[in-house]
A and B are shown apart, each in its own frame.
Chain A
Amino acid sequence: MCLGIPGRVIERRDDAGLAVGTVDFGGVRREVCLAYVADEVAVGDYVVVHVGFAISKVDEEEAKRTFEVLREMSQLDELEWMADIADAAEGVSP
């Protein structure tokens, strides 16, 4: 239960006691209920939206970290691969 996509809060307001806002998803904007993230989200923050409700704030630090880890892994693999090639060229088994 699943389809939640990230978007940026570009506006916040109160609709008869309910915290709502406008969220921008890469060029598409929709009204989203912010009641469940009201205390932690400000204009400019990213939220995960499911059926018109923000269910969580995107932790941008963690998001970046996940990506760095993966990228490092990819570079490490490349270094390993290059090392293997070099070893093979010198007649050393990897």
Chain B
Amino acid sequence: MTTITARRTPTIQGIACPTPVSNHTHVQLGHGSGGKMSAELLRERFLPRFASPFLAELGDGARVPVSGSEVVVSTDTFVVSPIEFPGGNIGHLAVHGTVNDLAMMGATPKYLSAGFVLEEGLELAVLDRVLDAMAAAAEACGVEIVTGDTKVVDRGRADGLYVNTTGIGFLHDGFRPSPTRARTGDSVLVSGPLGRHGMAIMAVREGLAFDSEIVSDTASLAPVVASLRDRLGADVHCLRDATRGGLASALNEIARASKVGVVLSRPAPVPGPVEAACEMLGLDPLYVANEGVLVAFVASEREEEALDAMRSQGVGAEGVKIGSVVGEHPGMVVQRTGLGGSRVVDMLPGDQLPRIC
């Protein structure tokens, strides 16, 4: 029997200590959810040890100087289970994920490395399908997988297969979107409908499974970014792909980094089956993961052009405006309700959990 050794916050009579206490002694799943626990892990354990001004910016990638110019480096590790899901497999995520991170920094993705941890007993046919997916995605995105590594671990570890991809991309003059550049008055746009990837995964999870036509939206967002860059240039202030933690996390990260408030004045686009699945499980689509949706903060006077630029690309065809940046409540994201009331859209502590209440 496992011994329970964690201590809860000691009781204090009278005045309470104002510092919130984190009493985790072990890694939890919530640390990987993209919410507050992830941010705390980064802030308290990683950043102090890896002292780097580039890292401290906490963008989707790092912009670093190389021989007088700048490149962007980004890395992402993919651990999704199941490896294959409606709409794709971990291989699609591995290529699109890093391509998208580079694109969010304003870079054109060029080269990828791919590191694999394979579980003993994984069917080679599954590995083939993952590699096929990666090859096809890389070609479609115009990137080359130029180096890699493979390790095998004992049966029971690695959930079948884990992949890490690291990418390098090249920047363009005058195009430096950054989470710190949002300004009061900016228009907040989203490139497509929300919640498809997260709910496609949920649909095949034991204990929660359901039937639907929901498929993952895994896709490269680079064409949308290129289109925005060509039409708007520096008037694109921030770009973020709304992956784990959903749109809500991406908006909160930008609101905090730029120290501005965000008001969501229009309903976020959610496809019918995603909405239905979320209703059934008691989940909020704003927090569900996407793999082919970005949020863009642009100068308000360029809003129409930005939407045009987005919609000119397949993956941005359903782009819409969802809100604006305000000077009030800096660091906070607020949603206006149909009644004229407001609701704070906070970062979740960890993973969003299905509920019955």
Contact = CB atoms under 8 A, between A and B. Distances in A.
> CB–CB under 8 A between A and B in the complex?
yes
Contact of B356 (A22, A27, A50): A50
Contact of A27 (B273, B282, B355, B357): B273
Interface in B227-283: 272-273, 275-277, 279-280, 282
Given A27-B273, A29-B210, A5 B357 contact: no
A92 interface: no
The secondary-structure label for the interface of chain B is: mixed
Contacts of B279: 5, 25
Contacts of A3: 282, 355-357
Contact of A26 (B210, B276, B355, B357): B276
Interface size bracket, A side: 10 to 19
Interface string A3-17: 101000000000000
Contacts of B277: 25, 28
Contacts of A30: 210-211, 280
A2 interface: yes
Interface size bracket, B side: 10 to 19
Residue from B272, B279, B357 whose CB has the most chain A CB atoms within 10 Å? B279
A28 B357 contact: no
Contacts of B214: 28
A3 B357 CA distance: 5
A65 B211 CA distance: 32
A50 B273 CA distance: 18
B7 to A, nearest CB: 33
B213 interface: yes
A51 B273 contact: no
A1 B277 CA distance: 19
Contacts of B213: 27
A45 to B, nearest CB: 18
Contact of B280 (A1, A2, A22, A25): A25
A27 B280 contact: no
A26 B272 CA distance: 7
B147 interface: no
A71 to B, nearest CB: 16
Residue from A22, A25, A28, A49 whose CB has the most chain B CB atoms within 10 Å? A28
A89 B178 CA distance: 55
Contacts of B357: 1-3
Given A3-B282, A3-B355, A27 B210 contact: no
Given A25-B279, A27-B273, A1 B210 contact: no
A23 to B, nearest CB: 10
B356 A26 contact: no
A50 B212 CA distance: 19
Given A5-B280, A27-B273, A27-B276, 16 more contacts: A1-B357, A2-B356, A3-B355, A25-B276, A25-B279, A25-B280, A26-B275, A27-B212, A27-B272, A28-B210, A28-B273, A29-B210, A29-B212, A30-B280, A49-B280, A51-B356
21 contacts: A1-B356, A2-B356, A3-B282, A3-B355, A5-B280, A22-B211, A25-B277, A26-B272, A26-B273, A26-B276, A27-B213, A27-B272, A28-B211, A28-B212, A28-B214, A28-B273, A28-B276, A29-B211, A29-B212, A30-B210, A49-B280
Interface of A: 1-3, 5, 22, 25-30, 49-51
CB-based closest 9 A-B pairs: A27-B273, A26-B276, A28-B276, A29-B211, A28-B212, A25-B276, A30-B210, A28-B277, A3-B282
Interface of B: 210-214, 272-273, 275-277, 279-280, 282, 355-357
